[in-house]
Structure formats: C-alpha cells, structure tokens
Structure 1
Amino acid sequence: MLEIKVTDIKQYIYCRRIIYFTYCMPLEVAKTYKMKYGKEKHDRTEELEKRRTLQRYGLESGEKRCSVWLESKKLGLKGKLDLLVIKGNEYVPIELKYSTRKPGLHHKYQLTAYVRLLEYKYKTSIRKGLIHLIPSKDTFEIKMTSNLRKKVREVMENIRKIAVTERMPDVVRERGKCKDCEYRNFCGDI
C-alpha cells in the first residue's frame, strides 16, 4: 500500500493536481512567497508554543507535546501533528494554521487524518480536535463525525488511485487558487 502524507489529504481537497505532480511527476518547485511567509509564522508560533498555556485553546490542563510524528503502515499514512494535548485518557490534536479565514474543508480533513493516526497509535477513540488560527488567535473545535472519517478514507483511496493510474486530474474550478500555486507553470492549461 502506498504510504501517503497527511498533508496530501489537505492538498487533494485544495487541488488534485498537486497530488499528481507529487507522486507521478516529482518536480523541484520553488516555494511561493505566501508559503514561505506562512512557514516562518508557523515555525515561530511552534517555538513560542513551548512556554504558552493551554487556555488559548479553551483547555485547562494537560501535557503538551509539539511536533508529534505519527505513522501507521497499516493505514498507509504518516505526518507531523503540530500539537497534541494529553489529559489522562483524552487526546486533543491541535493544528496551527496561518490563515485569516475560518478552517476550510481541507483543514478539517487534515485534522481528521491526524485523529485516525492518534486513534491507531493510542488504541483510543477521539471525539474532537482543534484548529487554531495564528493571526487571529481564534480556536475552532472540530467534532470527529463518522462522515468526516468516511470522507478522509475516500480521499486517501483517491490519492492512491491518482498515483497508480498516473492520470492528471481536471483543473480546479476556483482558478484563483492557481494564482499563487507553485505548480502553476507545469499545468499547461490554466
């Protein structure tokens, strides 16, 4: 089974062609300004996170772990979770996003994939995760529904299908996404 990265799930929802270029035509691409800036802010926040309290996430207490590497050969999935809070038998995954918009579907699917990895690793059931927006300091609770879990499994299957068939997916409907895309020059039809 092809092992995929959790970030691939987010990318698939954003633009399926990114998956095609990642697995079928691996390319050296330059990071865009927005990507570099977001990474800098994310790294800085992660650095500061070590000394911050959990109150910003609406949590009172727990053990905080930063940059948690998760991998499951059985699920064929791997990735690095930004933050994990453990309180007794409760596990709360937290994804940090440098965005001014409310969490999109791609962020929710990414968080759900991390939940699947955590559930597998810790042999537990997780009911919620959090997405924290760095600029606004807003935190959104995302309930782990059966529908979210099902959709993530479907996306994982579709990612593997793209990799195996090596067929380039159709261009995204929202062409505004293409403006700042690092793969824009390789699509040929936008």
Structure 2
Amino acid sequence: MEAAQPFTVTDLKQHIYCQRISYFHLCLPDIRPVTRKMSIGIERHVDERKRAARRTMAMYGLTEGELLFDVDVTSSRLNLVGRLDQLVIAADELIVVDYKVASRHGKHQEVQLAAYAMMAEESYLLPAKRGFIYLTKAKKAVEIRISSQLRKIVESALQEMTVIQQTERMPQPTEWRQRCLDCEFRRFCNDV
C-alpha cells in the first residue's frame, strides 16, 4: 500500500481558517487561484527574512543561540511537511518563528506555529515550548506558548483533513463569513 502524500503546514493552517480551503487543496489540487494578497505576502516574506537576520536574540529572551532561516521540517508521525521561516536553537530549547504580513494574528496561525514546533522537536530532539509570530505590519513579535491544547488541535485537524481527503466530501463553510470576501475559492463555494 502506498504511503499517503504528506499534508503541508499551509494546508493545516487553511483548514483551521476554513475547512473548505483544505478541501479544495486536497481534493481538487489543480485548482489553485493566486490572489493579489497572496502575491504581496510572498514578496514581503523575502524582505522580512533580510531584516530578521539583523535582529538580536533579546527579542526571544535569549543571550545566545543559533539562528536558522527557511528550515524544511517534516514529521512522519504527523504525515506533515513545511518550511519554517526561522528556527532558534538554544542550549535547551527550540524556538520557532513565523513571519506574518499582518498587524494581528489568529488561532489558525497559532496552530500553524504549533505544528512547526512539533516537527522541529522531531527533527532536532529538543523541546519547543514556545514560538513567536512576527507581525511585520506591527513590527512586533508575539510569543505563543506551544501548549498541549494547541498540540491536540494540530493532531485533530490532521485527522479531519485525512477524512476529507478520503471521502472527498465538502465540509460546511466557515462560521465567519467575512473571511469569504478575500478567499481565493469564493466563486467555487456557491453557497456563501
């Protein structure tokens, strides 16, 4: 039996935001509209990487550690892959950092950060108890505790995604319909 294609951390984040987005990515992978907002995010990510290299460890409450950028992380246990914006390797912990072109963050981004932490732990064999979402518009790093609750959400969402992929059944739309306004799949839903 063939091993299942791993999910991406982006698919996981989108699943938390709206399960229909992960449905379209998983069940109709050839349909992938790119919005203006997505293109801008990609461009700004490159610029942010350059600025991040100049920052000190003090932002993370450390005096020393190793900074790695654009780190590919995987987990065979979770069947998950992704590319982490920044990883801080300290003597006794890992700190995952994800850049967001935003002035605030949401639960979907916290879950994404937790998934990165779980994969980094598997690869580097050190605990990742916290991470940071760096909000580029606000120019501030928000510390996120990688709690057992966030870890459970990651695992539960991955199970939901597996069911969606296997059954190819379209889930209900998000309760927060304002999210649909900028969605790349808005025209495919037909009921929002």
Q: Is the 8 A contact 2:85 2:99 kept in 1?
A: yes
What are the superposed Cα offsets for residues 114-170 of structure 1, whole Å, 9 maximum, x if unpaired? Answer: 111011112232211111111111111111211111111101101111101100011
Q: What is the aligned partner in structure 1 of residue 91 from structure 2?
A: 88
**Greater RCO, CA 8 A, separation 6+:** 1
- For structure 2, which runs of at least 5 residues remain unmatched after alignment? none
Q: Indicate conservation of the 8 Å contact 2:84/2:96, yes or no.
A: yes
Change (3 A) 1:57 1:41: farther
Provide the residue aligned with 2:175 in structure 1: 173
Correspondence 1:31 to 2:22: no
> What percentage of residue pairs aligned between the two structures are identical?
40
Q: Secondary structure at the match of 1:136?
A: coil
User: Does the aligned pair in 2 maintain the 1:21–1:27 contact within 8 Å?
Assistant: no
Q: Measure the CA separation in 2 of the matches of 1:56 and 1:136.
A: 14
> Secondary structure, in 3 states, of the residue corresponding to 1:168?
coil
How far apart, CA to CA, are the structure 2 residues paired with 1:185 and 1:29? Answer: 12
Aligned-pair RMSD on alpha carbons?
A: 1.5
Deviates more, 1:23-32 or 1:64-73: 23-32
Question: Which TM-score applies when normalising by structure 1?
Answer: 0.92
TM, length-normalised to structure 2: 0.91
Q: Unaligned 5+ residue runs, structure 1?
A: none
How many Å separate the matches in 2 of 1:178 and 1:27? Answer: 20
2:45 corresponds, among 42, 46, 56, to: 42
What is the DSSP-based 3-state SS (H/G/I as helix, E as strand, rest coil) of the residue aligned with 1:69? strand
How far apart are residue 90 of structure 1 and its match? 1.8
